[in-house]
Amino acid sequence: MLLAVLHTSTTSLVLLTVAAIGMWGYFGPCFAIPGQLLAGTAAATGLAFITSVANLGGFAGPYVVGLVGRATGSVYSGLALAGVSLWISAALILSLPATVNGRPHGPA
């Protein structure tokens, strides 16, 4: 969200690099969570759902960022929207219970 405020090339590059680390750093934990919460075919279905939503986001995300950027006249608004969606995703993951059926899992 700082990208919407800071407009220099160097700070934009650094902030985009940090954002990329955060966006791609979730892969391991994200794909491990369904195996901890679900069993058998439900775990496979959970992984398939995660992959489907991620592919849909990979298609629709750039389109929405472009639409918002065009509507506001600034690409920074579209990037701020992407940042907000990442914060919401992190909050949802952190809201998962610390234990399921007496087994610990997740970030806690």
pLDDT in tens, 9-40: 888 888 888 888 877 887 777 788 888 788 88
The tokens for 91 are 């909050």
- Per-position DSSP letters for 18-83, written without gaps between them: HHHHHHHTTHHHHHHHHHHH--THHHHHHHHHHHHHHHHHHHHHHHHHHHHHHHHT-HHHHHHHHH
pLDDT in tens, 55-91: 998 899 889 988 998 999 988 888 888 888 888 988 8
